[in-house]
Amino acid sequence: MHRISWCALLPAFSLSQACDLTGPASAPTELFVQNVSAFAMSDLVVNEWEIGELQAGGRAGPRLFSTVYSYGAIGAVVLGDTLRIQPIDFVGEEPLGRGEFTYVLSVGGDERQRWLILETVAGAPD
């Protein structure tokens, strides 16, 4: 299984990098999101996809995109803390391409400080 990991705690500002499409004929990438943490995530937004609530162990998708990278803009509220992964740019990055991919989300840290952890996996979640 192809795995790409990305972990970050970055400042909160918005950057769009994925174009949502309305029909499957023009969308080469299907993106799923899976929460493997022990915590519910609320106000979850992934690449401008407003998922909302995603329970611990839950999954969302697929959502069709024209371009998806191995990491993306993600924001969520976990235990009252607003957590974000915010790419600066995608210079030099190759899109994942046609197919199914899953952003697997978890939470690192402790009571004093938490952060999102993103792992991108080829295929749909089990």
Integer Cα distance of 9 and 86 in angstroms: 8
pLDDT attached to residue 28? 86
Per residue in 25-35, pLDDT (tens digit) is 445 899 999 99
Is-contact 102 35, C-beta < 8 A?
A: no
For the chain, domain boundaries: 3-122
Confidence of residue 80 (pLDDT cuts 50, 70, 90): very high
Region 11-39: what's the mean pLDDT? 65
The model's pTM is 0.79
**pLDDT band with cut points at 50, 70 and 90 for residue 126:** confident
CATH of domain 3-122: 2.60.40.2890
> What pLDDT shows up at residue 95?
94
Residues 87 and 71: beta-carbon distance below 8 Å? yes
